[in-house]
Amino acid sequence: MRRFIRAHLPVLALICLVAVAQLHGADAAPAAVDKPGSGPKSLLDLIFIAGPVEYVLVLLSLISYSLALQWVFTVKRETLIPDGLADELHNIMAEGPTDEAVENARNLVANDRSMLGNIIASALDKKDFGYDTMKEASEVVGAAEQNKYMGKISWLSMFASSATLLGLLGTVSGIITSFLKMSANPGGVDPNLLAADIGEALVCTGTGLFIAIGNLYLFFWLRGRVNQCVLDAAVITSEILDYFRAR
């Protein structure tokens, strides 16, 4: 239960912040309705002006930043490479890779489903086949673990690309609508009639960039964190496997 709350607390916090911002915008909306065109627009007004593409972008921002915050708190070194696990393994293997030591090490990593725990467990399972087989098994599982975590955070890169394209779609849609109105009224169009369409173009562009820039920074940051953990796990695994080298 504690793990569930810790993983989803950032998501709930972000949703609450967005809800508060929207309620604040809703309170400011009546004044803008009474006097069209006077005063600055609230956040909620801009979302309504921008149209359907903006609704999709707002939903995408909620999803992407919620997942990003969740992974910031869960995909970290303390989770992937638990503190003390390597020291405990070294203490167990201090007298050599005896059957009792190997069994104790297996029991230790069996209850630890972290990246390092899974890699060490895969190597120990191949103990009867020798050092080379153990090393190969650890490398295969290490690559699988890296792919598992990279598969998660790669969604942030996809969200960034999608937000950029959706922002461009909103921009093109607003500009096309503006030009169609201008062509339908050769005598001239009231600029106020085009304001909503131009606003759609600019607001969608800004929202798309806000999502894309933030998600890209978070993606590269988390990717570096995962890669560093993979390297650290490989070093620790190599140190443990040294006990099984032929003397």
For the stretch 72-125, pLDDT in tens is 999 999 999 998 899 999 999 988 888 899 999 999 998 888 999 999 999 999
Same domain for 66 and 151? yes
- 33 pLDDT band (50/70/90 cuts)? very low
pLDDT at residue 223 in the model = 95
Contacts of 24 (CB under 8 A, 6+ apart): 42, 43
Q: Which residue has the tokens 């009231």?
A: 190
For residue 61, give the nearest of 206, 174, 211 by alpha carbon: 211
- 47 with 166, same domain? yes
Does the pLDDT at position 35 exceed 80? no
At 197, list the tokens. 């369409």
Q: How far is CA 43 from CA 9, 25, 64, 75, 112, in A?
A: 25, 6, 19, 32, 46
User: Do 42 and 109 reside in the same domain of the chain?
Assistant: no
pLDDT for position 54 = 86
Residues 215 and 107 in one domain: no
Can you give the pLDDT at residue 192? Answer: 67
Final residue of a structural domain among 113, 137, 161: 137
Is residue 226 in a domain? yes
SS (H, E, C) 128-141: HHCHHHHHHHHHHH
Same domain, 152 and 69: yes
Could you tell me if 91 and 71 lie in one domain? no
Q: What is the mean pLDDT of residues 156-171?
A: 92
> Is 231 domain-assigned?
yes
Question: What is the rounded average pLDDT for all residues in the chain?
Answer: 80
Residue closest to 55 by CA, chosen among 174, 209, 170, 194: 170
Tokens describing residue 203: 């607001």
pTM: 0.75
Residues 60 and 110 both lie in one domain:
no
Has residue 152 got a pLDDT over 60?
A: yes
d(CA 70, CA 6): 8
Residue-range definition of the domain harbouring residue 98: 83-137
Using pLDDT thresholds of 50, 70 and 90, give the confidence band for residue 45. Answer: low
User: Which of the four pLDDT bands, split at 50, 70 and 90, describes residue 1?
Assistant: very low
- Total number of domains in the chain: 2
Query: Are residues 120 and 170 both part of a single domain?
Result: no
Asked if 32 and 45 touch (Cβ cutoff 8 Å), the reply is yes
Measure the CA–CA gap between 209 and 55, rounded to whole angstroms.
15
Q: pLDDT tens for residues 51-73?
A: 788 889 999 999 999 999 999 99
Only one residue has tokens 């673990």, namely 145
Is the pLDDT at 149 greater than 50? The verdict is: yes
Better-scored residue on pLDDT, 170 or 43? 170
User: Can you give the pLDDT at residue 195?
Assistant: 67
Evaluate if residue 36 carries a pLDDT over 60: no
Q: Is 12 a domain residue?
A: yes
Model confidence over 181-224: pLDDT tens digits? 777 776 666 666 666 667 667 888 889 999 999 999 999 999 99
Write the DSSP string, 61-104: HHHHHHHHHHHHHHSSHHHHS-TTHHHHHHHHTTT-S-HHHHHH
Q: Is the pLDDT of residue 228 over 70?
A: yes
- Whether residue 101 sits in one domain with residue 17: no
Residue 247 domain flag: no
Whether 152 and 51 map to the same domain: the answer is yes
Supply the pLDDT for residue 41: 61
Residues in the chain: 247
pLDDT of residue 60: 94
Same domain membership, residue 150 and residue 129: no
Alpha helices (runs of H) in the chain, residue ranges in sequence order:
2-34, 43-50, 52-74, 77-80, 85-92, 99-110, 115-125, 131-184, 191-241
Query: What torsion, rounded to 10 degrees, do the Cα atoms 122, 125, 130, 135 define?
Result: 0
Domain co-membership, 66 together with 160 = yes
In-domain check, residue 90: yes
